[in-house]
Amino acid sequence: MPTYVMLTNLTAEGVRTLKNNPARVAEVNKEVEQIGARVIAQYATLGQYDFVTVVEAPDAETMARVSIELGSRGTMTSQTLSAMPAEDLASAL
């Protein structure tokens, strides 16, 4: 299944939401599954991005729905990257 990496930053509203409800992260991950994708790994990070999330989705259209749905809430912004295992790249060369 195709893999994507979401680089996410919380807005001020998103920071408030997370502070008031730390379980919100798990709730959002369940919502991602309802859209048709699956969170494989998620990391809270320091630096340029607040979260790095690895997601599997059946296709780019599903991943676009995830990105648009989450972004439309006003609590975060994200950049989504298509990813492939390094060994798949090596095999393709």
pLDDT digits (tens, 9 = 90+) for 16-63: 999 999 999 999 999 999 999 999 999 999 999 999 999 999 999 999
Round to whole Å and give the CA distance between 80 and 90.
Answer: 23
Cβ atoms of 4 and 83 within 8 Å: the answer is: yes
CATH number, position 58: 3.30.70.260
What pLDDT does residue 7 have?
98
- Inter-CA distances, 80 with 27, 31, 37, 77, 83, Å: 20, 17, 13, 10, 9
What CA dihedral angle connects 9, 88, 65 and 55, to 10 degrees? -50
Domain total of the chain? 1
Strand partners, 83: 3
The residue segments making up the domain with residue 11 are: 3-92
0.85 exceeded by the pTM? yes
